[in-house]
Amino acid sequence: MSLYLSSTDIFGYFTRKRYMIPPRSMIFVGNGDYRAIGLEFRDLFIREGGLKPTDKVLDVGCGVGRMASPLTTYLDKTTEYHGFDIVDRGITWCVQNIASRYPNFHFSHADVINASYNPTGTVTADSFDFPFPDNYFDFIFLTSVFTHMFPRDLENYLKEIARVLKPGKTCFITFFLMNEEAEALIQAGASTQNFIYPLDGCWTTTPEVPEEALAFREDVIISLFETYGLTIQKPIRYGSWNGRSSFLSYQDIVVATKN
């Protein structure tokens, strides 16, 4: 092994140290640029979700810290960030590289079963209780989490979100939402996600491993939010995933406030 580093190696090393970017081999979900996507969503949380530096934050499905890293320079040191994920190695990296530098950032492993990401888990998603008290958080977000969960699992997580969110506070959640426009674009071959395989209450692109990508009817999601006392801030921010010409991000974004 060479003792000398190229300029590219040096730049990459210090970029990872400064911004806490994990090695590519650690990034187990999402193909985009780690830093760019994290910064994009930090700005969306602030602009679209109203995230404040003093908010107590919950990151459901925090992965390998793609959203946590940019929040370390935004959230006040006196508040709390909590993130949990079902992939243990991602949590280990976050604890070693983020929590070790920012004591108000906390990460935990949720051993929830998922055929794609944690097949040997010990608890089902439809029975998992978030390990936090009622009315604890000011801002809760899920980025590309409900796009990998079955309806019964999604409903339980939404119930838990409503439980641990403070009244009047905000949740920010991304989806693949099916409506007339999305269905027409899929049929026309414009979509990057081919949701043509119907399941019970949702659609998948991969029937062999359905959790690879799941889409839900928009009206069903709206009804679930209402059921659990979450008022959606209209309009829904539609994404580009299905080939629509007007969009905010890649996935559809729902921002809601607890009644």
Residue 135 to residue 118: CA distance in whole angstroms = 29
The per-residue DSSP string of 95-152 comes to: IIIIITT-TTEEEEE--B-BTTTBTT-SB-GGGPPPSS-TT-EEEEEESSSGGG--HH
Lowest-pLDDT range, 14-18, 36-40, 120-124, 204-208? 14-18
Q: What is the mean pLDDT of residues 14-36?
A: 64
**More reliable by pLDDT, 19 or 222:** 222
- 99-104 contacts, C-beta under 8 A, 24 or more apart: 101/20, 101/72, 102/72, 102/77, 104/75, 104/77, 104/78, 104/79, 104/80
User: Could you tell me the pTM of the whole model?
Assistant: 0.90
Lowest-pLDDT range, 5-19, 56-70, 227-241? 5-19
pLDDT the model gives residue 243: 98
pLDDT the model gives residue 18: 60
pLDDT band at 126 (very low <50, low <70, confident <90, very high): very high
Relative to beta strand 81-85, strand 57-60 is parallel
Q: Residue ranges of the alpha helices (H) in the chain? A: 7-19, 34-47, 68-71, 88-94, 151-164, 180-187, 218-227
Phi, psi of 218, deg, nearest 5: -60, -45
The pLDDT tens digits for 214-234 are 999 999 999 999 999 999 999
Residue 156 to residue 140: CA distance in whole angstroms = 15
User: What domains lie within the chain, and their CATH numbers?
Assistant: 7-258 (3.40.50.150)
Phi, psi of 230, deg, nearest 5: -115, 120
Instruction: Give the angle subtended at the CA of 240 by the CAs of 47 and 144, to the nearest 5°.
Output: 70
The pLDDT tens digits for 160-200 are 999 999 999 999 999 999 999 999 999 999 999 999 999 99
pLDDT band at 19 (very low <50, low <70, confident <90, very high): low
pLDDT of 22 > 80? The answer is no
